[in-house]
Amino acid sequence: MKENTKLLHGYQVLDEHTGAASIPIYQTSTFHNKQLYSDSQQYLYTRFSNPTIDALEDGFRTLENAKYAISFSSGMAAISNVIMLLKTKDHLIVPREVYGGTCQFVTKILYRYQIDVSFVDMADLNEVRNAIRSNTKMIYLETPSNPLLKVTDIRGLVAIAKEHNLITVADNTFMTTLAQEPLELGVDIVVESVTKFINGHSDVVAGLVATNNEFYYNELKLFQKNFGGILGVEDAWLIMRGMKTMGIRMAHAVSNAQAMAEYLQAHPKIKKVYYPGLKSHPNHAIHQSQAKNGGAVLSFELATKEELLDFTSKVRIPILAVSLGGVESILSHPATMSHACLSPEERAEQGVVDGLLRLSCGIENIEDLIDDFEQALGN
Ligand SMILES: Cc1ncc(COP(=O)(O)O)c(C=O)c1O
């Protein structure tokens, strides 16, 4: 089955009891026991399992081409549960530009469990090699990175991890499995913020973990049940509805992003464009070798803070907000939003300057997006 057919028919999409074309929301916390001392009771309590959540996780397995998938109450719940696979005295390697929430989790919480963390530039595999210690257990990657769309060579990183017997985890939120398949490239565990492209409508916060490894799956099911970061059933239903159109949404958003990157690259007021779908991107070839397209997210730089404020006050179509992956285009200002917790020096070191904006392309008509940017840039 090809991707759009799969997203409509490749998993449990009908209610088996009634034939309803939409899986019902089983709005219940508990289930009547038909008989005591019986092993045949499938559902006991919604924190353990629920038919709406089971249908969604069946969908996630299909989407991710994975043996196992687990839903979580947010991307961060998925990420923190996976990182908790580590034990006291273990060492973790993460990208310097890792998503802000993950950064806070590993710097503000993980040290309490005496788990060490090293930050490296994952576009440079030598830095990864040099960071490995005798107690390193996990390498966590995000490619392309946020907000500068730096690319990590997934195959190269997996090869290093295998040499040292390390667990690899990929945050695939930006690309989604429709465009980049880390499990296929040898990564052990994929995490994604479902809040973004998978749900796609900026109305749900959720996360997922996908893996082909039974041991990690069983551990993570135990964590999900006992840390309790489960997804609500209404949110699960909304995600199932959103997922059906994910293929066509992503195709349109990616085509908009490629066109916007090319338009912005040619614009005299734009200092720099960061987008792995552009030939001028320093790791365009590596990205092309591991992903089907450049994705729907790009960043660009205006020369000064004044130009930034002028542009953001005039632009009409994209909303100015934290987040990405909605049907509507979303402009974010990393210096005051996702990277506000860094000091100005740390931001400068990473290249997150005041004039930088990130654009998550939605599914508007490209002519309207370009016209809007044209008037806001005041050509
Ligand atoms: C790359 C990435 N990973 C993880 C997250 C966290 O996801 P959530 O907000 O669903 O917890 C985000 C949120 O913006 C993100 O951009």
Check which CATH number belongs to the domain holding 277 and give it: 3.90.1150.10
Helices (H), 228-365: 233-244, 246-265, 284-290, 305-314, 344-350
The verdict on the CB of residue 329 being under 6 Å from ligand 1 is no
The total number of structural domains that make up the chain? 2
Task: Report the run of H or E that residue 116 belongs to, with start and end.
Answer: strand 116-120
Q: Pick the catalytic residue from 11, 26, 99, 140.
A: 99
C-alpha of residue 275 to centroid of ligand 1, in Å: 19
Q: Is the CB of 74 under 6 A from ligand 1?
A: yes
Residues 172 and 238 in one domain: yes
Cis peptide before 268 (omega within 30 of 0): no
**Does residue 280 share a domain with residue 132?**
no
Task: Verify that 256 and 232 share a domain, yes or no.
Answer: no
Residues 123 and 238 in one domain: yes
Active site residue 99: yes
Whether residues 82 and 154 share a domain: the answer is yes
User: Catalytic residue among 61, 196, 249, 347, which?
Assistant: 196
Whether residue 211 is found in the same domain as residue 116: yes
Residue 261 Cβ < 6 Å to ligand 1: no
Residue to probe by mutation, ligand 1, list 192, 193, 323, most atoms within 8 Å of CB = 193
**Looking only at Cα atoms, what is the longest distance across the chain?**
75
33 and 153 housed in the same domain: yes
Identify the pLDDT of residue 379.
59
102 CA: nearest ligand 1 atom:
4
DSSP SS3 for 168: strand
Closest residue by Cα to atom 12, ligand 1, is 193
Instruction: Say which CATH number the domain at 84 has.
Output: 3.40.640.10
Strands 91-95 and 116-120 turn out to be parallel
DSSP letter (8 states) at residue 112: G
- Closest protein CA for atom 7 of ligand 1: 75
Catalytic residue among 90, 171, 188, 235: 171
Which atom of ligand 1 lies closest to the CA of 76?
A: 11
- How many angstroms does the Cα of residue 332 sit away from the middle of ligand 1? 14
pLDDT (tens place) for every residue of the chain, 379 residues total: 999 999 999 999 999 899 999 999 999 999 999 999 988 999 999 999 999 999 999 999 999 999 999 999 999 999 999 999 999 999 999 999 899 899 999 999 999 999 999 999 999 999 999 999 999 999 999 999 999 999 999 999 999 999 999 999 999 999 999 999 999 999 999 999 999 999 999 999 999 999 999 999 999 999 999 999 999 999 999 999 999 999 999 999 999 999 999 999 999 999 999 999 999 999 999 999 999 999 999 999 999 999 999 999 999 999 999 999 999 999 999 999 988 777 888 888 888 899 999 999 999 999 999 999 999 999 5
**CB atoms near residue 48 (< 10 Å):** 13
- pLDDT for position 343: 82
Last residue of one domain, picked from the residues 217, 244, 271: 244
- Looking at the fold, whether 296 and 314 belong to one and the same domain comes out as yes
CA–CA gap between residue 9 and residue 19 (Å, rounded): 14
Identify which of 98, 141, 196, 322 to mutate to test ligand 1's pocket (most ligand atoms within 8 A of the CB): 196
257 and 226, same structural domain? Answer: no
Nearest to 310 by CA among 273, 368, 272, 357: 357
Active-site residue, 26 included: no
Q: What is the CA radius of gyration of the chain?
A: 21
Q: 99 alpha carbon to ligand 1 midpoint, in Å?
A: 7
Contact 131, 120 (CB under 8 A): yes
Centroid of ligand 1 to alpha carbon of 76 (angstroms):
6
Cα dihedral 336→338→340→341 (10° resolution): 170
Residue recorded with tokens 């059933």: 233
Quote the DSSP letter at residue 179.
T
Same domain (yes/no): 239, 253: no
Q: Which atom of ligand 1 is nearest to the CA of 338?
A: 14
Q: What angle do CA 81, 84, 89 make, to 5 degrees?
A: 170
User: Residue 207 CA: which ligand 1 atom is closest?
Assistant: 10
Among 216, 244, 272, the domain-final residue is 244
Question: Which residue segment(s) compose the domain that 287 sits in?
Answer: 246-377
Helix (H) or strand (E) holding 214, with range, is helix 214-227
Strands 270-274 and 91-95: unpaired
- Domain match, 135 and 238 both: yes
Rounded to 5°, the CA angle 254-259-262 comes to 125
Domain boundary among 244, 268, 291: 244
> Are 236 and 289 in the same domain?
no
Query: If you measure from the C-alpha of residue 180 to the centroid of ligand 1, how many angstroms do you get, rounded to a whole number?
Result: 17
